[in-house]
A = this chain, B = another copy of it.
Amino acid sequence: MIKVAILGASGYTAVEAIKILLRHPEAKIVAVTSRQEGSPPISTVHPSLVGRLELPLEDLSPEEVGTRADCVFSCLPHCASAELIPQVLAAGAKVIDFSADYRLDDAATYLEWYGHEHPDTGRLGTTVYGLPELFRKQISGATLVANPGCYATSAIVPLAPLVKSGLFETEDIIIDSKSGVSGAGRSPKLMTHFPECNESMSAYNVGRHRHTPEIEQMIRRHAGARPQVIFTPQLAPMDRGILSTIYIKPKGKVAEEDVMAILRQAYTGERFIRIVDHLPATKDTVDTNFCDVTARVVSGRVLLISCLDNLVKGAAGAAVQNFNCVFGLPESLGLL
């Protein structure tokens, strides 16, 4: 059994990771941390865990966590995560980082988008981006994995094979995404107060959402050219799910079946990427680690539509998939 600890266990991605790990035959949760006083049972914060996980929420040092566990899932916010991870790694544990801290290659982009100096610049550019479908080899055996952003996964999965094919413009890629509210985290705010966002759709952070540079970096890596991406995140009145509608221009004429063939070929044998003929709904993927993708050609543009569960394939499921990959386990263990 591989011993796992969860840093920052009071939020939604953490509880999702816990639920998946409780089903995982090779993982054992040994610690869950939080700055709650008095080490209350985790079920006081997550009542769905009553009778399922009896651990207390402890306020542990990173060294202690890294010593107790073989692998640490860091569900801390960005910046906070990179401040502790070096010490967790130093204590000998491997780390799957849910935050954005190790996703970008360079400190300048991080500073530009996150507004402060990166606390651990030395690991930028060498940490693997945790999308096993694209970077399986590098993840296998890694000590630190940067778990991708939920929107980013929904965009990169369909876009990567297309831009890699050389058949598409990398300028003027439009990503119009709609997300469930759990993506905004568990801290109560007016924007996510039920009577405010229920029965409503709205855009937010237009042109400045922090998953943008992550998407651009991955397109650049696959296309070999600096892309121009417009990313519009939108809040939908539902708990979970991301629907991304992506518009990309072919350099020449392209048929729907050709685009589908590129997608199918790229993800042949991939357990968690489903290239489907029908128009997928987020609900088809909710509570699963699947990402459903289809393509349409309309008026000379290619539409890519992708769906996933932001808390599973967009966070905790991807993390467990990375965990399996890091420890040489079957990649779908605990995830089906």
A190-223: contact bitstring with B at CB < 8 Å (1 yes, 0 no)? 1011111111111110110000000000000000
A278–B47 touching, CB < 8 Å: yes
Nearest neighbor of A47 in chain B, beta-carbon distance: B284
Q: How far is the CA of A182 from the CA of B47 in the complex (A)?
A: 23
Q: Given A189-B188, A198-B194, A207-B299, do A234 and B178 touch, yes or no (CB 8 Å)?
A: yes
User: Chain B residues with Cβ under 8 A from A286's Cβ?
Assistant: 199-200
B230–A199 touching, CB < 8 Å: no
B298–A48 touching, CB < 8 Å: no
Contact of A284 among B48, B283, B287 (CB under 8 A): B48
A64-108: contact bitstring with B at CB < 8 Å (1 yes, 0 no)? 000000000000000000000000000000000000000000000
Q: How far is the CA of A283 from the CA of B299 in the complex (A)?
A: 32
> Copy number of this protein in the oligomer?
4
Q: Is A1 an interface residue (CB 8 A)?
A: no
Q: Which interface residue of A48, A241, A279 has the most chain B CB atoms within 10 A?
A: A48
Residues of A within 8 A of B (CB): 12, 22-23, 47-48, 50-52, 172, 174, 176, 178, 180-182, 186-190, 192-204, 206-207, 228-230, 232, 234, 236-241, 243, 245, 247, 271, 274, 276, 278-288, 290, 292, 296-301, 303, 305, 307, 336
Contact of A234 among B22, B194, B238, B245 (CB under 8 A): B245
Q: How far is the CA of A182 from the CA of B236 in the complex (A)?
A: 16
User: Chain B residues with Cβ under 8 A from A51's Cβ?
Assistant: 271, 274, 290
Q: How far is the CA of A204 from the CA of B303 in the complex (A)?
A: 12
B280–A47 touching, CB < 8 Å: yes
> What would 8 A/B residue contacts be, using CB atoms closer than 8 Å?
A47-B278, A181-B194, A188-B189, A198-B198, A200-B286, A202-B279, A206-B296, A228-B300
Q: How far is the CA of A3 from the CA of B297 in the complex (A)?
A: 43
Q: How far is the CA of A178 from the CA of B228 in the complex (A)?
A: 24
Q: Given A190-B188, A288-B48, do A200 and B282 touch, yes or no (CB 8 Å)?
A: yes
Q: Given A174-B174, A181-B194, do A48 and B283 touch, yes or no (CB 8 Å)?
A: yes
Q: How far is the CA of A301 from the CA of B292 in the complex (A)?
A: 28
